[in-house]
Amino acid sequence: MYCDQCQETVDNEACTETGVCGKDAETSNIQDLFVWELKGLAYLAERARTEGIVDEDVRVFVVEGLFSTITNVNFDPEWFEGQIREGFELRRDLRERYEREVGPIADEALPDAATWEADDSAAFYRKAPEVGVQTTESEDVQSLRELLTYGIKGIAAYADHAYVLGEQRDEVFEFVQRGLAATLEDELDVDDLVGLVLECGEVGVEVMETLDSAHTSTYGHPEPTEVDIGTRDRPGILVSGHDLKDLEELLEQTEGEGVDVYTHGEMLPAHAYPAFEEYDHFVGNYGNAWWQQHEEFEAFNGPVLMTTNCLVPPNDSYAGRTYTTGVVRFPGLPHVDDRTDGEPKDFSALIEHAKETEPPEEIESGTVPNGFAHNAVLERADDIIEAIQAGDIRGFVVMGGCDGRHPDRDYYTEMAESLPEDVIILTAGCAKYRYNKLDLGNIGGIPRVLDAGQCNDSYSLLKIAMELQAALDVEDVNDLPIAYDIAWYEQKAVTVLLALLSQGVKGIRLGPTLPAFLSANVVDLLVEEFDIKPVDSVERDREAILEEL
């Protein structure tokens, strides 16, 4: 195996024996083969699209397939084998349709990824090592292909979330296919790939906007909310991941069942949506970011539902009460099947299971603030602008992104604590858990930590910046009193980073380490064009940030 797609990769180089995330070599290899197959399928689909042939099943299959290969989503090699076979079928159907409607294509005119096929699983595992990320001799081309692929994986996750809620944009699906297909083209050089990487950021903004619209039109605009972090004395179900539709259906089915529902990790911001206010048994958030789940799921006592990433291979002690759904899988864990014929998912087994369990052990108490997405913040734009002009607000530090196990992530807690009292932290994603329980106070009633939601809601941070730019009549987004100190872990964060770059944001600090898949030349390019910098010490960064504001 060779995987370097996340921040926790071994020695910031690559996982080659087994993944720090718990992904074993077999799963890593079969995921490589699947991603390669999806690239081939995308290549064919892109060619068909230019002839006016669009296959919705193929589009969705590619997007969901990519999502399943994001860090901490799917650890089930047998499931991937099944998907690879399904991919062959879709490809055959698409090619047949193309040849019927347009004319024959010679195998030689297609890349190996669009024609290779085998029946038995053993052949899959023999092929996999030939098609992983290290298939090009140029370190820079490999690096840019990886950057593009991971950015597209993030787009795929956001597109899938929006699709589930009934929203989609053709441009997004088209870019996913075109961008993936481009990673197979040997004639594309560094400049071509850099262009696609920047376009990936633009499409990242578009897909996040689509998802924002899907969320807010379905569940309302998040409102400032104090979320309880304690427990009640009834059995509970803990919901993690990012999928609000799964949560909605579970809330509906648990009503009146004597069971409470809690959120974990990235599901916390669900409490701020008006649509979920009506459920009295939707009681609060339990625990912290994804990487603390071993201790927290253990103490929770009740069933856990993983709707998307962030699954860590479970301990035996609670594996029997950990359920997966959607693209999440882990061998041996019970799985809640997809919706069919527009019917909701059936969570009854999980709900019955919950009734037999003890209430959660209380590990914290109090509340955390949430619900400061763009609408809630911009409703107070006048107050904010007045406070900026009066000098009460010196500026904002965007500290969104991911949390993780890396010990250097203490940096973000220390940074939050050390920023002066006239600075506001804007956040989204699970990075918030490094500082959202500190009492950092407020400025004239505006909390010093404004939490816009999940990583999926990073669009809010961009929207707030753009609106401030207009309101303050500032020509360049970089002249706003906003500094960026971002933490990353997995591939959705890559998309968010590219989205910021596509909007011209410069001077982003990125930590706790720079991505291992960036070659020295690609780092140089990012530094030159965008002044990206790795995080330094809290003291030096704090000083620099205050100068920037």
* Shortest separation between residue 497's beta carbon and ligand FS2, angstroms: 11
Q: Binding to ligand FS2 by residue 175, rule CB under 6 A?
A: no
Residue 287: burial class (beta carbons within 10 Å; 0-12, 13-18, 19+):
buried
* Shortest separation between residue 16's beta carbon and ligand SF4, angstroms: 9
CA distance 47 to 44: 5
* Shortest separation between residue 240's beta carbon and ligand SF4, angstroms: 18
Instruction: Between 313 and 481, name the residue whose CB sits nearer to ligand SF4.
Output: 313
Three-point CA angle 133, 201, 519, nearest 5°:
40
Buried b (16+ CB within 10 A) or exposed e, 531-547: ebbebeebeebbeebbe
Instruction: Between 254 and 263, name the residue whose CB sits nearer to ligand FS2.
Output: 263
23 binds, among ligand FS2, ligand SF4, none (CB under 5 to 8 A by kind): ligand SF4
Instruction: Between 98 and 484, name the residue whose CB sits nearer to ligand FS2.
Output: 484
Interface characters, 3-42, with ligand SF4 (x: CB under 6 A): xxxx-xx-----x---xxx-x----x--------------
* Shortest separation between residue 22's beta carbon and ligand FS2, angstroms: 15
266 binds, among ligand SF4, ligand FS2, none (CB under 5 to 8 A by kind): ligand FS2
Is the CB of residue 112 less than 8 Å from the CB of residue 21?
A: no
DSSP state of 265: G
Q: Binding to ligand SF4 by residue 68, rule CB under 6 A?
A: no
Contacts (CB under 6 A) with ligand FS2, residues 306-325: 309-310
- Return the CA Rg of the chain: 23
Q: Give the binding-site size for ligand FS2 (rule: CB under 6 A).
A: 14
Q: Which of 47, 161, 245, 492 binds ligand FS2 (CB under 6 A)?
A: 492
* Shortest separation between residue 18's beta carbon and ligand SF4, angstroms: 8
Contacts (CB under 6 A) with ligand FS2, residues 395-414: 401-402
Is the CB of residue 22 less than 8 Å from the CB of residue 75?
A: yes
Q: Binding to ligand FS2 by residue 497, rule CB under 6 A?
A: no
E strand residue ranges, 241-387: 260-263, 282-285, 304-306, 322-325, 335-336, 367-370
Contacts (CB under 6 A) with ligand FS2, residues 412-431: 429-430
* Shortest separation between residue 242's beta carbon and ligand FS2, angstroms: 6
- The residues, any chain, with a CB within 8 Å of residue 67's CB and separated by 6 or more, are 73, 153, 156, 157, 160, 308, 327
Q: Which of 71, 253, 301, 309 binds ligand SF4 (CB under 6 A)?
A: 71
| The two three-digit tokens of residue 495, written as one number | 């998309």
**Sign of the CA dihedral with 96 first, then 101, 107, and 109 last:** negative
Q: Which of 490, 502, 517, 526 binds ligand FS2 (CB under 6 A)?
A: 490
Instruction: Between 271 and 492, name the residue whose CB sits nearer to ligand SF4.
Output: 492
Q: Binding to ligand FS2 by residue 249, rule CB under 6 A?
A: no
454 binds, among ligand FS2, ligand SF4, none (CB under 5 to 8 A by kind): ligand FS2
Q: Binding to ligand FS2 by residue 215, rule CB under 6 A?
A: no
Q: Binding to ligand SF4 by residue 301, rule CB under 6 A?
A: no
CA distances for 382 relative to 53, 281, 369, 472, 515, angstroms? 49, 36, 21, 11, 39
Q: What is the DSSP string of 79-118?
A: HHHHHHHHHHHHHHHHHHHHHHHT----GGGS-GGGT---
Identify which of 254, 217, 258 has the alpha carbon closest to the alpha carbon of residue 239.
254
Instruction: Between 20 and 544, name the residue whose CB sits nearer to ligand SF4.
Output: 20
Antiparallel, parallel or unpaired: β 304-306 and 322-325: parallel
CA distance 235 to 5: 38
Rule CB under 6 A: which residues touch ligand SF4? Answer: 3-6, 8-9, 15, 19-21, 23, 28, 71
